[in-house]
Amino acid sequence: MHDHDHPHHDHSHDDGAALPEIALRVKALESILVEKGYIDPAAIDVIVETYETKVGPRNGARVVAKAWCDPAYLARLRQDATAAIAELGFTGRQGEHMRIVENTQQRHNLVVCTLCSCYPWSVLGLPPVWYKAAPYRAKAVIDPRGVLADFGVALPKETEIRVWDSTAELRYLVLPLRPAGTEGWSEDRLADLVTRDSMIGTGLALQPGAAA
């Protein structure tokens, strides 16, 4: 963990010329495996689609929305996030060791994995490309306020920014601040305000009226 006070997987079938070198290698390897009959491209598409749209980040949004609405559930999240998240049926891939970190008016949390790209797939789906990139991993530790500015997030100077370094043993889910004016909203409606970036800390929850 680093404290700072005041201060995708792309499974495209487009023209390979637009792809980075690592994507070209993956594409070539996939072609060989398909040609030899070891893998079914349709099955790969289903897996990717599942993680991108079904597994997450909608799962994480449901966790956040329930925590906003249900104080008892929030208490369980604080005590054992892995178990509380599993209550909603979200388990598995890199979601075995979870902890929530809560944003407040005085503190904003930002998640990074400085050594690799540990990421809670079960609640956020596939990690975005920028999360795995060296510039983000380095700058998040050195200049977290600058990272937030890159994502269009401007916080008051007095807001503490705390950076959490995910590892294979522990992964973090940011609980963003609940937007004002959402009193009495249902969990489903609140979940529409929760973005992937707000659960990483590079964004904020959407304001009412912005979800559409």
Let me know if 69 is a catalytic residue. no
Q: 3-class DSSP state for residue 107?
A: strand
> Please, where are the H alpha helices in 50-133?
58-69, 71-79, 81-87, 121-124, 129-132
| Catalytic-role residue among 31, 118, 122, 186 | 118
Taking alpha carbons only, the member of 84, 118, 78, 137 closest to residue 102 is 78
Burial class (CB in 10 A: 0-12, 13-18, 19+), 25: exposed
Question: In residues, how long is the chain?
Answer: 212
CA distance 147 to 117: 17
Annotated catalytic residue, options 12, 31, 69, 117: 117
Instruction: Choose the catalytic residue: 12, 31, 116, 186.
Output: 116
Given the residues 31, 113, 122, 186, select the one marked as catalytic: 113
User: Which residues belong to the active site?
Assistant: 113, 116-118
